[in-house]
A and B are shown apart, each in its own frame.
Chain A
Amino acid sequence: MPTLRSLLPALAFTAIYAAISLSVSNSYYQLVLTLVPVWAVFGLSWNLLSGYTGLISFGHAAFFGIGAYATALGQIYFDLSPWFLIPMAGLLGGVAGLLIGYPTFRLQGHYFALAMLAYPLAILYVFEWLGFQEITLPIKRDNPIAYMQFGDPRLYTLLALAMMLATILLTRLVERSRFGMALLAIKQNEAAAEAAGINTLAWKLRAISLSGAIAGAIGAFYAVVLLVVTPQSVFGMLVSAQALTVAMFGGVGTVWGPVIGSVILIPLAETLNAEAGSRFPGIQGVIFGLAVVCVILVAPEGLFWKLRDLHRKRSAPKAGDAQQAPASTATITTLQRELRRRPASADVVLEVQNLSRSFGGLKAVQDVSFKLHKNEILGIIGPNGAGKTTVFNLLNGFLRPDRGKVLISGRDMSGQKPHAICEAGIGRTFQVMRPFPRMSILDNVVVGAYVAAKSDAQARQLAANAVSRVGLSAVAGRLAGELSTKELRLMELARALAGQPRILLLDETLAGLGHGEADEVVTVIQQLARDGMTIAIIEHTMQAMVRLVDSFLVLDHGAVITEGEPEAVTRDSRVIEAYLGKKWVAHAPH
């Protein structure tokens, strides 16, 4: 939840802006002052979807235009007031978001962006075909206030400001909650987010309908200000581009980005139109374009992030001398290494029966069966391409098995979505780490905690526990982007732990670590096992594994070669052959 203090800048900005606009009596400057918050809100609506989820929308004009036309047509044909129509336009925008999002979220990356581009262009032609090439909001001479037609243009600015403040507060609320965390997680890695228990489709749909609702409402207000609605002016390419321009210029993924972008770009464009345009018509576009290009070159992530990085750099040395230096070295609370006292019990928590999966002609996994007992550490080993990670992907729902079953505590979960399997108690880490670099360690871990938490406070509590279990408490506030490989591995472990899983799937957790570092991570894993966690781990480093695991499962060519106690397995000739080739079998000790 945003605290009052965190909202102070937004409130102060709005108050100053309102004071300035009240002192301006020139109606033209006032119009520009009205348009700044309008485009800021539109940028914020775009940011809510594209800034936080990373799914770029080139088609936000669809929602904007629907709002604008709803208001214009509602007033023309039903004599409804914009006071009523603007909220209705928000509702329509939200519904449009759902309708557009549901089919379009099947696509990712560029395909999503291009598909979104098509919607406003298609709707544009529909409105032309309907004969709405140009419509105007009827002038109301008798009761102008009831129809939002003010004699004093300052009132429009104040209304626009109110909408902007509301949008900023809403965005802050989203940003700080489970909603925002889910969106950020999707942006960083949608697969990892699913694995962390986030129902990505549901959150994306919520994001696009909220974003569509904001865009619809501000589009409606825009129609009231512009008074004339044409398909080009509300569904056109330039409208969608406007949202992207202000957000990307100011900074993506922050509430301040679109506001900064709009405050600078809208008056700049207008001034150029007014001043340069009357002397050298057309030059305004050139200057405006060049200005945007230069800023994007200097600050590719937008002005906000550039300024924040500069500010951090300047203030960092002061704080760093005293505190940060020791913090960056002493990272891990040393855990004592001792032998496991609680051996695996007889309860089966995960049972895999005849699991198979092929990719075309390649049988990646064939008839794999094994049981994981409560509190057991199972090592899954095998040469490259043996199908180890595929087994994990089948277990946590990234892939559907062709045949076979996965029983979690006796319940058949095969073929379920990753977030559902996560809720059922399976957490996992990835071979390739997926940190959220702009977030602190604690925030990274909070993302994983929501699956088990009812409230934001509980999620933070669970996350803090998980961070302390892997020994990162001392550095919990640092940004993930500044961490070493070892710390990242531990952070990923904490993220998986935060969801309170009963079973952990660890995919090459020791990869890329030095000898000493690997030992430290091994110590953490052993501690987890002592605390009652059931663990399946994929690993290449035999030496570390032999000390860690209770039993081995050996895969080759997608099938189980053998399983059993570490001592027996490492002597098995089939295992040596699979790893080293036939001729080494003779040299192996028998």
Chain B
Amino acid sequence: MRKDTTYKGGITRRTVLSGAAAMGLSRVARAEQPQEVKVGLIVPLSGIYTRPGQVMKMGAEMGIEHINAQGGIKALGGAKLKLVVIDCGDTTEKAKNAAQRMVAQETDLVAATGAYLSSFTLAVTEVTERAQLPMLTLSYSDLLTERGFKFIFQTAATASRQSELGLPTLMKLAESASGKRPKTVAMLMDNTATSVATAKALKEKLFAQEGLQLVVEEVWTPPLSDATPLIQKVRSARPDLLLFMPNAVSDAKLGLEKISEFGLGQGKIPTVSFSITIAEPDMLQSVTPDVVQGIMTIVANWGSKGHEDLIAELKAKYKEPWMTQNVISTYGDMWLMKNALEKAGKADRLAVAEAFRNLDGGPSKYYPGGELKFDDKGRRVGAGVVIVQWQSGVPVTVYPPELAQASPFWPKKS
């Protein structure tokens, strides 16, 4: 699998180079020395988070390829972007060491993106901040942009913002689709940092605001060994809405199978998640499409309307069935870096960082909602969420309407 990916990557680069030559882009090259601008991708490529890291690499490679094919960085005489990939491993210490290696040995990087897990991003940005290297991230922990850092730029809505945006939207969706507002809610969650942050916002503010009554609340420590007691509680409480928040595919599988086994599946109790785990392609390796049918999740980004060509290319090139947040956000990061480089006019990390800070790139194409603009904290202005729903074996974007690939259906209680 891994070998296969590497092979494809090799093909890609060669194809691009020959393609670029064939398209007559050598005009710039003749004018001055062909220049390269290096950008970094620091993601887990070994250990238990390998898979998301690989997917992010696909997004980055596609982005670089498209940018270079369309003439590179025009402000730098058509300089090509070059991707430097660094494995940040599977522990916080490894991530910190890898970041140190990146800033010490790749001194000509102008920007980087990473590092999937928010704990890793925290450690990596402690290093990049001190090295004054601008860092884009799709991690959405609030803490990342609460440290007063000047060189971090968060493209996704933060965790607390996601629940603020997500729940009201969900309620509206339920009301319009089923004609009835949910009144009771059950929450099953693991105790990882993201789930805890989301649950905090929900319990302290949002449930009350939306008039929801919390009837079941269960927390587990991954890995979940048996979901029976959790689902039993849900069955006896019969809530209008179930928030099921796993962060490991195995936990998601156990929970969903049990929901199905207890006859609560197929939307008998509308089930919603808050992470991309439940919509990962890996899910279909362990459960059948009808087990996940109708399940929704609120995520920071997803392949949506307007990304059809990208999705098709991803399918053809990497055999990925659909485009998750990790691909589309990292793809978008490459374009964002290009934007900043055009604005900065030089391949210098301080200038690029300044360009990110003052960027005003209009509506965002590869992130949901808002603009290509960052506030003082480094958070993208107006960053929104998308709601994704499993429909016939594929998680498709159903909200917001301008990005929706399909209409949502709200499962009705039978």
B129 within 8 A of partner (CB): yes
How many Å from the CB of A240 to the closest CB on chain B?
14
- Pairwise interchain contact A139-B149, C-beta atoms closer than 8 A: yes
How many Å from the CB of B343 to the closest CB on chain A?
27
B192 within 8 A of partner (CB): yes
- Pairwise interchain contact B97-A26, C-beta atoms closer than 8 A: no
Report B65-109 CB contacts with A as 1/0, cut-off 8 Å: 000000000000000000001110101111011101101110000
Partner of A238, one of B46, B91, B103, B126: B91
A512 within 8 A of partner (CB): no
- Measured in the bound complex, the distance between the Cα atoms of B118 and A135 in whole Å is 11
- Pairwise interchain contact A278-B91, C-beta atoms closer than 8 A: no
- Pairwise interchain contact A278-B147, C-beta atoms closer than 8 A: no
- Measured in the bound complex, the distance between the Cα atoms of B96 and A325 in whole Å is 58
- Pairwise interchain contact A136-B89, C-beta atoms closer than 8 A: no
Report A134-156 CB contacts with B as 1/0, cut-off 8 Å: 11101100000000000000000
How many inter-chain contacts with C-beta < 8 Å in the A-B complex? 100
B2 within 8 A of partner (CB): yes
B143 within 8 A of partner (CB): yes
A452 within 8 A of partner (CB): no
B45 within 8 A of partner (CB): yes
- Measured in the bound complex, the distance between the Cα atoms of B100 and A35 in whole Å is 13
- Measured in the bound complex, the distance between the Cα atoms of B94 and A133 in whole Å is 17
Instruction: Kindly list chain B residues whose C-beta atoms are within 8 Å of the C-beta of A139.
Output: 126, 129, 147-149
Question: Which of A52-60, A227-235, A330-338 forms contacts with chain B?
Answer: A227-235
- Measured in the bound complex, the distance between the Cα atoms of B123 and A232 in whole Å is 13
- Pairwise interchain contact B46-A31, C-beta atoms closer than 8 A: no
- Measured in the bound complex, the distance between the Cα atoms of B89 and A236 in whole Å is 16
B209 within 8 A of partner (CB): no
- Pairwise interchain contact A270-B93, C-beta atoms closer than 8 A: no
Partner of B101, one of A129, A228, A236, A274: A274
- Pairwise interchain contact A228-B45, C-beta atoms closer than 8 A: no
* Chain B residue total in the interface (Cβ 8 A): 39
B50 within 8 A of partner (CB): yes
Instruction: Kindly list chain A residues whose C-beta atoms are within 8 Å of the C-beta of B147.
Output: 136, 138-139
Which residues from 11 to 55 on chain A have a C-beta closer than 8 Å to any C-beta of chain B? 26-29, 31-32, 35
Report A99-134 CB contacts with B as 1/0, cut-off 8 Å: 000000000000000000000000001001101011
A199 within 8 A of partner (CB): no
B266 within 8 A of partner (CB): no
Instruction: Kindly list chain A residues whose C-beta atoms are within 8 Å of the C-beta of B93.
Output: 226, 233
Partner of A226, one of B2, B92, B131, B196: B92
- Measured in the bound complex, the distance between the Cα atoms of B128 and A227 in whole Å is 12
- Pairwise interchain contact B104-A273, C-beta atoms closer than 8 A: no
A282 within 8 A of partner (CB): yes
How many Å from the CB of A271 to the closest CB on chain B?
10
Given A134-B143, A232-B91: A282 touches B97 (CB 8 Å cut-off): no
B119 within 8 A of partner (CB): yes
- Best-buried of B46, B91, B96, B149 by chain A (most CB within 10 Å): B46
- Pairwise interchain contact A226-B96, C-beta atoms closer than 8 A: yes
A581 within 8 A of partner (CB): no
- Pairwise interchain contact A134-B100, C-beta atoms closer than 8 A: no
A564 within 8 A of partner (CB): no
A interface secondary structure, majority: helix
Given A134-B118, A278-B85: A273 touches B141 (CB 8 Å cut-off): no
- Pairwise interchain contact A28-B105, C-beta atoms closer than 8 A: yes
How many Å from the CB of B358 to the closest CB on chain A?
22
- Pairwise interchain contact A273-B87, C-beta atoms closer than 8 A: yes
- Pairwise interchain contact A27-B45, C-beta atoms closer than 8 A: no
Instruction: Kindly list chain A residues whose C-beta atoms are within 8 Å of the C-beta of B200.
Output: 131
- Specify the chain A residue showing the minimal Cβ separation from B197: A133
Instruction: Kindly list chain B residues whose C-beta atoms are within 8 Å of the C-beta of A2.
Output: none
* Chain A residue total in the interface (Cβ 8 A): 34
- Specify the chain A residue showing the minimal Cβ separation from B126: A227
- Measured in the bound complex, the distance between the Cα atoms of B365 and A404 in whole Å is 91
- Pairwise interchain contact A227-B87, C-beta atoms closer than 8 A: no
Partner of A228, one of B50, B103, B126, B131: B126
Given A273-B94, A281-B2: A31 touches B100 (CB 8 Å cut-off): yes
Which residues from 407 to 439 on chain A have a C-beta closer than 8 Å to any C-beta of chain B? none
Instruction: Kindly list chain B residues whose C-beta atoms are within 8 Å of the C-beta of A134.
Output: 118-119, 122, 141, 143, 193
- Pairwise interchain contact A281-B92, C-beta atoms closer than 8 A: no
Report A271-291 CB contacts with B as 1/0, cut-off 8 Å: 001100110011011000000
- Pairwise interchain contact B92-A228, C-beta atoms closer than 8 A: yes
- Pairwise interchain contact A273-B97, C-beta atoms closer than 8 A: yes
- Pairwise interchain contact B122-A136, C-beta atoms closer than 8 A: yes
- Pairwise interchain contact B97-A32, C-beta atoms closer than 8 A: yes
How many Å from the CB of B121 to the closest CB on chain A?
9
Instruction: Kindly list chain A residues whose C-beta atoms are within 8 Å of the C-beta of B97.
Output: 28, 31-32, 35, 270, 273
- Pairwise interchain contact A28-B196, C-beta atoms closer than 8 A: no
- Measured in the bound complex, the distance between the Cα atoms of B87 and A236 in whole Å is 21
Partner of B221, one of A125, A233, A270: A125
- Specify the chain B residue showing the minimal Cβ separation from A28: B104
- Pairwise interchain contact A136-B98, C-beta atoms closer than 8 A: no
Given A230-B92, A273-B97: A136 touches B46 (CB 8 Å cut-off): no
Which residues from 150 to 206 on chain B have a C-beta closer than 8 Å to any C-beta of chain A? 191-193, 196, 200
Instruction: Kindly list chain A residues whose C-beta atoms are within 8 Å of the C-beta of B123.
Output: 226-228
Instruction: Kindly list chain B residues whose C-beta atoms are within 8 Å of the C-beta of A284.
Output: 46
B47 within 8 A of partner (CB): yes
Instruction: Kindly list chain B residues whose C-beta atoms are within 8 Å of the C-beta of A227.
Output: 96, 123, 126
Instruction: Kindly list chain A residues whose C-beta atoms are within 8 Å of the C-beta of B126.
Output: 136, 139, 227-228
How many Å from the CB of B104 to the closest CB on chain A?
4
How many Å from the CB of B234 to the closest CB on chain A?
22
Instruction: Kindly list chain B residues whose C-beta atoms are within 8 Å of the C-beta of A129.
Output: 191
- Pairwise interchain contact B193-A282, C-beta atoms closer than 8 A: no
Instruction: Kindly list chain A residues whose C-beta atoms are within 8 Å of the C-beta of B104.
Output: 26-29
- Measured in the bound complex, the distance between the Cα atoms of B117 and A468 in whole Å is 68
- Best-buried of A26, A138, A278 by chain B (most CB within 10 Å): A278
- Pairwise interchain contact B91-A233, C-beta atoms closer than 8 A: yes
- Measured in the bound complex, the distance between the Cα atoms of B85 and A233 in whole Å is 24
Given A227-B96, A228-B96: A281 touches B91 (CB 8 Å cut-off): no
Instruction: Kindly list chain B residues whose C-beta atoms are within 8 Å of the C-beta of A238.
Output: 91
Instruction: Kindly list chain A residues whose C-beta atoms are within 8 Å of the C-beta of B129.
Output: 139
- Measured in the bound complex, the distance between the Cα atoms of B103 and A29 in whole Å is 11
- Specify the chain B residue showing the minimal Cβ separation from A124: B221
- Measured in the bound complex, the distance between the Cα atoms of B90 and A238 in whole Å is 11
Instruction: Kindly list chain A residues whose C-beta atoms are within 8 Å of the C-beta of B118.
Output: 134
Q: A285-B46, A285-B47 are in contact. List 6 more A-B contacts (CB 8 A).
A: A31-B97, A139-B126, A238-B91, A273-B94, A282-B50, A284-B46
Report which A residues bind B (CB closer than 8 A). Answer: 26-29, 31-32, 35, 125, 128-129, 131, 133-136, 138-139, 226-228, 230, 232-233, 236, 238, 270, 273-274, 277-278, 281-282, 284-285
Closest A-B pairs by Cβ, 5 of them: A133-B193, A28-B104, A281-B45, A233-B92, A281-B46
Q: List 9 A-B contacts (CB under 8 A).
A: A125-B221, A134-B119, A238-B91, A277-B45, A277-B87, A278-B85, A281-B2, A281-B50, A282-B2
Report which B residues bind A (CB closer than 8 A). Answer: 2, 45-47, 50, 85-87, 89, 91-94, 96-98, 100-101, 103-105, 118-119, 122-123, 126, 129, 131, 141, 143, 147-149, 191-193, 196, 200, 221
